[in-house]
Amino acid sequence: MKKLLVLCGVLMALLIASAPALAKTELNFAPEIQLDEKPIDTAFAADGNQAYILTKKNILVFSVTEGRIIDTIPLEKKYNSISVAPRGDMLLLSRASLFDKSISLITFFQTFDIPIGTSPIMGPKDARVTLVVFSDFQCPYCSREFPVVEQLMKKYPNDLNVVYKHFPLRSHKFAVPAAIAALAAAKQGKYLELSREMYKNYRSLNETTLKEYAEKVGLDMEKFEQDRKDKAFEKQIQADRQLARKVGVRGVPSLYINGIAVQNRSLEGMAAMVDKELAKK
């Protein structure tokens, strides 16, 4: 009996010791959003930046960061519930009815307005299709993607241009200097040439090898060194980073064809997207 009482005492002590400390919960109510339609159900995107509000006639797309409705998706039927696929590119709608046992899937994509700004453009400026690439010169996946982008450019010499934006990762110590070097090379019309060498040798990028690659592609080294000191390049890279976050870039490489995120980064996958854009009126 004494052993049982001792055991009970020990268990109680452990429970008290492991109990979470009391915490005060504070609520912060954002200003109410007035809708023109009565909400039926809601679902959040995986990244938490958007919410989808199901109403009788529409799906309202609500931007959490902007605090407003940014788009409306009309519906032909009435639904009772909505959910979002983990990847965020599909909505599932269902109807609670004794006579209707079906569900509806809506696959969708967003088209972003990605300004070119002062980024170098490869290919004809008036091309009907623009591929924007957010990249990092020390990223192995970006290194593998670069030749694919070049193949795509050769496949559509008159209809495609390519714009590279820089998204150097914090863990890659030489990624920013490499991006600055590429922008400096662009002033001599050698952006692609120097980029090709840096991606090919991404493991060994440093100040010494960078100068070797710059000389190899035929840059005027005196002008190159002077241009690399231009502080405007650092501001441009920072602007690229901010733009990347706005369009949902989470890693590199991230590619967008006419503002639509590329899911299949193979030559065939991107060619299919380019063909689809060219088929549009």
Which residue in the block uniquely carries the two structure tokens 């529409």?
58
pLDDT of residue 5: 45
* Domain boundaries, given as residue ranges, for the chain: 41-107, 121-279
Report pTM. 0.73
pLDDT of residue 14: 52
Instruction: Give the helix, strand, coil percentages of the chain, each rounded to 5.
Output: 35, 20, 40
**What digits encode the pLDDT tens for the residues 166-208?**
999 999 999 999 999 999 999 999 999 999 999 999 999 999 9
Residue range 41-107 in CATH 3.40.50 = no
**What digits encode the pLDDT tens for the residues 218-254?**
999 999 999 999 999 999 999 999 999 999 898 999 9
pLDDT of residue 78: 87
Residue 147 near residue 155, CB atoms below 8 Å: no
pLDDT of residue 64: 85
> Same CATH fold, 121-279 and 41-107?
no
CA neighbor of 80 nearest in space, from 116, 113, 56, 46 = 56
CATH code matching the domain that covers 121-279, chosen among 1.10.8.60, 3.30.420.40, 3.40.30.10, 3.40.640.10: 3.40.30.10
Question: Mean pLDDT, 10 residues at a time, over the chain (281 residues)?
Answer: 46 54 71 86 84 92 87 89 81 78 78 95 97 98 98 98 97 98 98 98 98 98 98 97 93 97 96 97 69
Which residue in the block uniquely carries the two structure tokens 């150097």?
168
CA neighbor of 215 nearest in space, from 198, 194, 192 = 194
